Amino acid sequence: MDNFSAKDIMKNQVVTVDAAISVMDTAKIMDDAGIGCVVVIENNIAVGIVTERDFVKRVVSRGIPLTTPIKKIMSSPLIVVNPEENIWEVAELMKQRRIHKVPVVHQDLLVGIVTATDLTKLCSIGSDSEMRRITDQILLRMKPADK
């Protein structure tokens, strides 16, 4: 597992929306696609991300009008990784920043996204003994940070 990088587990198809699109239209796009996030694009560059949680915390709970541009509620600046980033580093970044989705960017272009689900799937591959070994590695890496 140490040899895996973001490009090995990322989803290549990322749904994006323009920064000027409304909150309502973004929600419809996410619902139609059956996804939990979209990456926000402005001038062909990924500038933010919007998740289902953002809709709860930044729209519904605050009574934000559904006509509001999505740029007003997106999470920004965007936290990204490059395709060659080791998955341990991606996982550590997600843990430290308390995020579940990380866009993958190469030379300023969005090329994919890694989610916590992608990391979980990778950890579940292999035999039971391999899974125990991977779990032990994860737990060993977590212990120093928890102290």
- Tens digits of residue pLDDT in 114-129: 998 888 887 766 556 6
pLDDT value of position 84: 95
C-alpha–C-alpha distance, residues 68 and 72, integer Å: 7
Residue 8 phi/psi, 5° resolution?
-75, -25
Residue range 27-42: mean pLDDT, rounded: 96
pTM here is 0.80
The domain limits of the chain are 6-146
Please report, for residues 51, 59, 81, 127, 136, the alpha-carbon distance to residue 101 in angstroms, rounded to integers and kept in the order given.
Answer: 9, 20, 11, 27, 24
Q: What is the pLDDT of residue 122?
A: 77
Measured in degrees and rounded to the nearest 5, phi and psi for residue 96 equal -65, -40
Provide the pLDDT for residue 4: 86
How confident is the model at residue 147, as a pLDDT?
47
Q: Which CATH superfamily is domain 6-146 in?
A: CBS-domain (3.10.580.10)
